[in-house]
Structure 1
């Protein structure tokens, strides 16, 4: 194998699929691998704007997904024919092309986790489109190998698409342990800027889908944690207004700081004693590794990477869905040895560096039949 090409709508830092592709490309380049990418712009979709909020944002997102799934598939397959012998193509999203497909999430499973799966699927035509597209992807054996990010996600894939013909493997996600690390100075400065007492018990939630990722359960949990302060990072204006009303109805509004979308979540990890993330569904949950890398223990439901990276009482707490269980998980973390938990959290993240993950992928590529397409 002499070359790697990634198919992904965009590459960029931050979080999400685009960041995974970005970090892998950076690490492969450091290892001397010839690497490039095929993006939405290469598929002729550069005219499409970023998906925003509201109805317009949803329509833009749907257009981007459909374009990259259809036109992107055609153009990506043409691109593949022009690659030199030994090139491995890895697809991260939408397009039905490539030797390796990285499963970053299963729509049907996400809908199932939130309840009323069929109603949710029918209400949003994009969900139906993605389900049908991926049913074709897996039934046709489009890819030699499908990479699942966790053991639970592999089980979910086979449950949702029992006719899958591709070989499957498990390779998790990584975290930038240089960028995400403990920072006592940032902790003090961020708390001061937010008017939070240096000795207060502070939790943080980071996510753009409040309902699916469990913010309502955290607000409910806070009714039994009278001294607990919560920082909420992410979400649209409409989502924040709804959540503020919910917090007010529960009598916890004065202890919740809605910070909106932030370009950098690190100061809020640093300011916190615990990261709370009772999500209903995650294909992996990269934000969990980011919190651990910052030395912040995690309270989370057993979804995505949680069973693989969290150890009860060591670097966090694994909880069941629901406000009462989340409350008890937060209490257990706050009552434990905080310095030991912070150290264990950091050590866990260090075992999931992007360098290690990049090497795992290279080993997989070398195992492909003939070492290439």
Structure 2
């Protein structure tokens, strides 16, 4: 069996790109596959210099790391792969090489979805750099295969970048069905006690760091139409939380919004909540939606990206427009419903998306590419000999 190389800035437990790569690596290794990793730490020859904690310098450090890993990291990743000629490589971000590239989002689509897309692009050099980098990636066909996380995201790639020379294959993200599960009565009582929630309180959960893109303002405004629910907000930085708290205060709903900041113990929050909301302007494939459904929470979300392909309106959640009143009515509908029925349907809707099943689809693709490379090698030697 051919070894696998995963390329990503970071690989580790959690959410986002790092978490996806980490879960895939665990599943590959569980099937006896050798997996090597190429990350920022692999590419660096000395420890990264610490940066001041001010937000401006954090943004500057992120941009610097992105450019460095895209340029220098690409050169070193190619050298890393040359030393492993039998390996099939899966690239998750930044680096401009690899047999398979997993598209975790389209920056142009994300900016356009929020309005004034051109202005949002040009005012942030990170967005401009990412767009140009990926235009080169897709139009020059730097990878054998591009993995899109949903059929709609495959269409978004073609719409934003025009011709995508690499073959596009759709493989969704997965979810850890063991870590995320409907809570027992004891787990729910303990989770509610942690946040001093009454037994009859109906709790809407919001999880995300980019409050504006993920629609927290809509969820807060929706409380004016949903007087029977509370909103529990996980994520964000101090500045974003302060602005969101001011909006809740202006709308007269501040006493029904609890901000807890960045947390990693998401199962605790899923156990305490009755539903998840994510009224985003754009999502490629929100892992938190899959995790919430696996935990038995119905989801109230906008019809963007992967959501309409996993959330069935009226069955495991509610699909809504980006309208606070409509979102509020969905909150009230779920708050008044039989939670046990919704929980069963939510869980059942993602049981086919466990990481073992998703990893198996990646391995089928890896083995297909390995056979293609094996067929090409004798041909290449024959040409050289001639």
Give TM-score scaled by structure 1 length: 0.96
CA contact (8 A) 1:365 1:371 kept: no
Contact 1:51 1:61 in 2 (8 A): no
SS for the counterpart of 1:181 is coil
Structure 2 CA distance for partners of 1:13 and 1:155, relative to 1, 3 Å: same
For the 8 Å contact 2:316–2:342, the answer to whether it is kept is yes
Structure 2 partner of 1:343: 344
Q: In the aligned structure 2, how far is the partner of 1:49 from the partner of 1:222?
A: 41
- After superposition, the C-alpha distances for 1:283-339 in whole angstroms (9 at most, x for unaligned) are 100000111111111001122321121111111111111201211222232233321
Question: Which residue of the partner structure matches residue 298 of structure 2?
Answer: 297
Query: What's 1:318 paired with?
Result: 319
Q: Distance in 2 between matches of 1:301 and 1:54?
A: 30
2:89·2:100 contact (CA, 8 Å) conserved in 1? yes
How many residues align? The count is 372
Give 1:343-362 correspondences, 5 Å limit. 343-362=344-363
Aligned mates of 1:206, 1:262 — CA distance in 2: 9
Residue 38, structure 1, aligned to residue 43, structure 2: no
State whether structure 2 residue 21 is matched by structure 1 residue 29.
no
Equivalent-residue separation in structure 2 for 1:370 and 1:261 (angstroms): 44
**Worse overlay, 252-261 or 362-371:** 362-371
1:260 alignment counterpart: 261
Shift of 1:368: 2.3
Check 1:115–1:94 CA distance in 2 against 1; reply closer, same or farther (3 A cut). Answer: same
Matches of 1:352 and 1:150, distance apart in 2: 13
Matched, 1:122 2:126: no
Q: 1:331 corresponds to which residue?
A: 332
* 1:205 match: secondary structure: strand
Give the deviation of 1:39 after TM superposition: 0.4
The secondary structure found in structure 1 opposite 2:353 is coil
Unpaired runs of at least 5, structure 1: none
TM-score, with length taken from structure 2 = 0.93
Q: Give distance in 2, aligned partners of 1:166 and 1:151.
A: 16
Rounded to whole Å, the distance in 1 between the matches of 2:50 and 2:93 is 18
C-alpha displacement at 1:48, in angstroms? 5.1
Which residue pairs with 1:73 in the alignment?
74
Any unmatched runs of 5+ in structure 2? 375-386
- Work out the CA distance in 1 between the residues paired with 2:139 and 2:238: 40
Q: Match for residue 101 of structure 2? A: 101
- What residue is the counterpart of 1:6 in the other structure? 6
Is the 2:20–2:173 Cα contact (8 Å) retained in structure 1? yes
* Whole-Å separation in 1 of the counterparts to 2:360 and 2:19: 17
Aligned-residue CA RMSD (Å): 1.6
Distance in 1, matches of 2:357 and 2:371, equals 24
Partner SS, residue 319 of structure 2: strand
Verify the 8 A CA contact 2:311 2:319 in the aligned structure 1: yes
Rounded Cα–Cα distance in structure 1 between residues aligned with 2:140 and 2:36: 26
Counterparts of 2:206 and 2:238, CA distance in 1: 16
Once superposed, which parts of structure 1, at least 4 consecutive aligned residues long, lie more than 4 Å away?
Answer: 48-53
State the partner residue of 1:188: 189
Deviation at 1:369, TM superposition (A): 6.8
Quick one: distance in 2 between partners of 1:370 and 1:338?
A: 49
Alpha carbons of structure 1 residues 51 and 152: separation in structure 2 relative to 1, 3 Å: farther
Q: Does 1:15 align with 2:24?
A: no
8 Å CA contact 1:173, 1:286 repeated in 2? yes
Superposition map of 1:91-240 within 5 A:
91-183=91-183, 184-240=185-241
Offset of residue 236 of structure 1: 0.2
In structure 1, how many angstroms separate the alpha carbons of the residues matched to 2:175 and 2:14? 11
Distance apart, 1:172 and its partner CA? 0.2
C-alpha distance in 1 between matches for 2:127 and 2:317? 33
Please give the alpha-carbon distance, in whole angstroms, between the structure 2 residues aligned to 1:129 and 1:218: 32
- Give the structure with higher Rg (CA): 2
Contact 2:229 2:335 in 1 (8 A): no
CA distance in 2, matches of 1:58, 1:251: 33
State the distance in 1 between where 2:191 and 2:269 align: 7
CA distance in 2, matches of 1:10, 1:143: 20
In structure 2, the partner of 1:55 is 56
Change (3 A) 1:48 1:64: farther
Secondary structure of the corresponding residue to residue 143 of structure 1 = coil
